[in-house]
A and B are shown apart, each in its own frame.
Chain A
Amino acid sequence: MIGGKIAFASGMLVALAGGWLAFPRILYQTRPEPVDFSHKIHAEKAGAKCEDCHSFRDDGTYAGIPALDKCSGCHTVAMGTTAAEKNFIDNYVTPNREPAWLSYARQPENVYFSHAAHVKLGHLKCEQCHGNEGGATGLRPYQWDPISGYSRDIWGRPVDRIGLRTAGGMKMDDCVDCHRRQGLEYSCLGCHK
């Protein structure tokens, strides 16, 4: 009888450990960014602001991650002796090859998101959705869920979404919650293609 209870409890413990500890590690795959870029150095030493690189085009659309042209304006030659700088110059600037950046915040195919509406009309700060990327000394590894194909940032860092900070995820529920809090409209065709 006791043996049966122990067996049941053991099974539970195994499942709990697997589900809470091993599952998040198994679920996400990790890939490094092609270049170890430091937002902090660019902000502090070059005095760059978010919108200097992540800019809007003249027609109002958001340019997203800057193209190599933007970087090579300053990095025509190596600006330092670090391994990251050497990697960037040798593998990308010199052969004029675009780095294949992995976007943490890319929304799925069936959604479009307007930065212009949120930044220019809604006056949201970049950090409110993207966190303090501007103060980071390096790029964190890109984590993605191979089943859904989504970046971990879309779901939010905690796998159970418990204790998720405000704007800590970019799921539809997060968009709707924010619009509801602000008393803004939210309808299907507002975001879905």
Chain B
Amino acid sequence: MKTTRRNLFKFVGGTAAGALLTPAPWRLITDTALWSENWPGIPRPARGEIRARFTHCTLCPAGCAVRARCVNSQPVSLTGVRPHPISQGALCPWGIAGHHLPYHPARVRQGPLKEALAEVARAAAERGAGERVAVLDLRPGRTVSWTYRRAMAAIGNGLYLTPRQPAYAIDLAAAKTVISFGAPLFDGWGTPGNVFAARAGFKLFQIEPVESRTAALADVWLPIRPGAETAVAGALAGETTPADAARAAGVDEGAIGAMKEAAERGPAVVLAADPASPLMRLNAKLGALGHTVVARREAPVPDAWKKAAPATEVSAAPEGAIRVLLIDESLAGGYVPWREIAPKLAANAVVVVFTSTGEGYARHARYVLPAPVFPEAAEDIGPAIDTPAAVFRIAAPLVTPVVPVATPGELAARIAGLAPGDALRERADAIHKAGRGTLLSYADGKSTPVKQASADDFWKTLNQGGCWMDDSGKKEAPGKLESSAAAEPPRDDLPLAVVVAEARRDGLESPLLSKLDRESNLRMAAGRVALSPADARSNGIENGGRCVLDTGCGRLSAVARIDPGIPPGVVEVVGGPRVADLCGAKSRARVVRA
């Protein structure tokens, strides 16, 4: 056989054909893909010893117990803790991805700390007789909240401000009937594990115009007309007949009658989307006080702390009197719309916000300082709304702060000249001294009466993710159920009732979650509004088109989604500070084409 050019090509062709019949090319394709996973610049978790550490999530007031799988000391995954008596092993998607937050690209990473401190000290020293220094605490009930209160008492004429806070707790396990006026019971209300553990024991009537996730999972959903909650509440209170309420709300009379009957049979509880809503007064009529609605209990505090400043709702603060306002927005909690805060500020007020996100008060403050995020800071978490027992649990840090952070509690204490100390340790010692309750250690799942643990062991266990719980006390009726906040009067030029969905959009969230929910349309993304086809048509709005939400308090540019599941007369918006600044509890709006 001669070596010709043609034969050479045939040899090469044969080689190529033969190669396809071997594993080599197919394996090399896989290997090349895997090789690309190891290119420089691709983040790789450290190799090292695997350890489990325990802490509590601070992303919402539920404070679920967290088991962190750590490589060396770096957390690489978070899960719930099964023996936890409240969170019952559950952890929501935000909690599962919580360890990503310190590295979030949108995190506030730097701020003029020295300049802010100097300006606050100057303004506090120069303030006039009627001018006040104030702290706004968005998550009251923590030990640092007591530090703020002590600081404001020490500073003289100081104000400790909070959002509207319910003074009650709900004992879902004791309820056989739950009547919810739009409360997102299965979508972020209370402690998810606790709610789902109690689910089999109660019948849920969900009253709201839109079929929310909770409405979809309720035993009975009453799709009322927007704003007809008062009529339904009147029927439950016996002030109107079920027939009248059904006519006003546009629902079946039989459903209202059945709900009233179940509520009267008891034990029942009424919940509202706004925990401070006047609808909560129904609980008194249904005999729920002291049974399913009980006074909120707090863990003991040192005696020396009890001369602290009282908590004041922002609405009760004097107008134009606040010269220095420190806002602790480090943990998501109740957001007070800026339009309620602005009138309380003096003309030359210094506003300093401690935050991790530029979305909230950072838009209004003179100084924005980076605050620690979960799981960087040692914090305690008070009882959630569905926890009748007093609890004390510490979010032990899992990582050291990855940016230089300013701790608001330390700063407030420094401004007031409080003696430096470890407030968490002092509180733990006070709880230990009281000698009540039990201490649960997650690592071994053991419960120990506090009396049997030494003060040091008690503190050590708390820092290893333990939880103190005092459920021995008698149930007491709460003092106050509703807030004095008045509902906004209806306006003819604002034809749509605003329904806030996705209320937990007030902080950072892992980019992984954005991929899982918002980009897949499982949840509405920020900057979107949902309208019924009829309302969209009448305003010339197209699906996916730009529109403007106008509430009379302000305007927000958004992308419209036309949803046949939204009834006419309703606009559904995504929660968050920007929307809270625009929309009150009973807000109305109009949506126009941009």
Contacts and interface: CB of A to CB of B under 8 A. Distances in A.
B13 A8 contact: yes
Interface string B1-24: 110101110111111111101111
B462 to A, nearest CB: 17
Interface string B27-51: 1101110110110000011000011
Interface in A38-91: 57-62, 64
Contact of B22 (A15, A145, A150): A15
A13 B19 CA distance: 9
A129 interface: no
B50 A61 contact: yes
Contacts of B18: 11-16, 19
Most buried by B among A7, A8, A147: A7
A115 to B, nearest CB: 10
B52 interface: yes
A108 B32 CA distance: 15
A11 B34 contact: no
A128 interface: no
A3 B22 contact: no
A148 interface: yes
B81 to A, nearest CB: 11
Contacts of B37: 108-110
Contacts of A18: 19, 22, 24
A159 interface: yes
Contacts of B505: none
B13 A11 contact: yes
A23 B16 CA distance: 15
Interface residues of A, number: 40
Most buried by A among B7, B17, B22: B22
A112 B45 CA distance: 11
A151 to B, nearest CB: 12
A15 B19 contact: yes
B31 A7 contact: no
Contacts of A145: 31
Contacts of B447: none
Contact of A23 (B24, B35, B50, B77): B24
Most buried by A among B12, B27, B34: B27
Contacts of B2: 3
Nearest to B2: A3
Given A3-B2, A3-B7, A4-B6, A15 B14 contact: yes
B10 A193 contact: no
B76 interface: yes
A76 B77 CA distance: 38
B27 A159 contact: yes
Contact of A19 (B8, B10, B21): B21
Contact of B443 (A8, A13, A59, A64): A59
A185 interface: no
Nearest to A8: B14
B475 interface: no
A175 interface: no
A193 B51 contact: no
B17 A12 contact: yes
A16 B21 contact: yes
B516 to A, nearest CB: 9
A3 B15 contact: no
B422 interface: no
A55 to B, nearest CB: 13
Interface in B54-78: 69, 76-77
Contacts of A160: 23, 27
Nearest to B77: A193
A147 B22 contact: no
A16 B35 CA distance: 25
Contacts of B23: 19-20, 23, 159-160
Contacts of B8: 7
Interface string B448-474: 000000000000000000000000000
Nearest to B50: A61
Contacts of B35: 147-149
A27 interface: yes
A62 B50 CA distance: 8
B368 to A, nearest CB: 32
A9 interface: yes
B117 to A, nearest CB: 40
B47 to A, nearest CB: 8
Most buried by A among B11, B17, B45: B11
Given A3-B7, A11-B11, A11-B15, A60 B52 contact: yes
A9 B37 CA distance: 38
Contact of A12 (B15, B28, B76): B15
Contacts of A137: none
A114 B377 CA distance: 28
Contacts of A7: 1, 7-8, 10-11, 14
B444 interface: yes
Interface string A1-36: 011111111111111101110010001000000000
A108 B14 CA distance: 37
Contacts of A4: 6-7, 10
B254 to A, nearest CB: 41
Contacts of B22: 15-16, 18-20, 23
A61 B13 contact: no
Contact of A61 (B1, B6, B11, B52): B52
Interface string A147-188: 111100000000110000000000000000000000000000
Most buried by B among A2, A62, A150, A189: A189
A113 to B, nearest CB: 10
Contacts of A60: 52
Given A7-B10, A145-B31, A109 B45 contact: yes
18 contacts: A4-B7, A8-B10, A8-B13, A8-B17, A11-B12, A11-B16, A12-B18, A15-B15, A19-B18, A19-B19, A23-B22, A23-B27, A59-B51, A61-B52, A145-B31, A147-B34, A148-B31, A148-B34
Instruction: Report, nearest first, the 7 A-B pairs whose CB atoms are least far apart.
Output: A19-B22, A11-B14, A15-B18, A12-B18, A148-B34, A8-B14, A11-B15
Interface of A: 2-16, 18-20, 23, 27, 57-62, 64, 108-110, 112, 145, 147-150, 159-160, 189, 193
Given A23-B24, A61-B69, A148-B31, 6 more contacts: A18-B24, A19-B19, A23-B27, A59-B443, A112-B69, A149-B38
